[in-house]
Amino acid sequence: MPDYTPHYKLTHEGAMRMIAAGMAKAAAMGQDQCITVVDDGGHLLAFVRMDGARVLSIETSRKKAMTAASNRVPTGGIAAANELKLAIASEGRMTNLLGGLPVIVEGCVIGAVGVGSGTGEQDLEVARAAIAALPGAKRFD
């Protein structure tokens, strides 16, 4: 087994491209959103709270992004029986709400996006649009 592997990195330019695409989708839907983009370790790269987005959605969008980056899968797929356990074990940092997607390029998770302030389905739609702004990123349709 090798001692190291190649690693892709999501740049701030890519993160800002994702924010812009997410904002455009949210505006087209008429649903102001909080959009968070993190790196593969869950660290903040970019964030926006659109005018009219809920203040508490700042935290939910961040937690959705962190959860998707950590688990390497979209949020919302954990069995309901495990949601409370997840929240307790992560000291409230992880969530199972829809709207968090990992950013995967050539099989490598390079970051994640989390969206909050609409319904779960609206949040997911905006997250999908954000990822679609990155050429080569896996789509979650």
pLDDT of residue 84: 87
Provide the number of structural domains found in the chain.
Answer: 1
Cα 17 to chain center, whole Å?
14
Q: Let me know: does 69 contact 79? Beta carbons within 8 Å.
A: no
- pTM of the prediction? 0.95
> What is the CATH classification number for the domain harbouring 24?
3.30.450.150
Question: Distance between CA 78 and CA 120 in Å, rounded?
Answer: 14
- Encode pLDDT of 14-72 as tens digits: 999 999 999 999 999 999 999 999 999 999 999 999 999 999 999 999 999 999 999 99
Q: Is residue 140 part of a domain?
A: no
* Integer Cα distance of 75 and 83 in angstroms: 11
Predicted confidence at residue 53, as pLDDT, reads 98
Q: What DSSP line would sit under 89-112, residue for residue?
A: HTTT-----S-EEEEEETTEEEEE
**Does 116 fall in a domain?**
yes
In a domain, 94, yes or no: yes
Residue 5 in any domain: the answer is no
How does DSSP classify residue 21? H
> 7 pLDDT exceeds 90?
no
* Residue 28 domain-assigned (yes or no): yes
Total residue length of the chain: 141
In a domain, 7, yes or no: no
- Give residue 48's domain range: 12-132
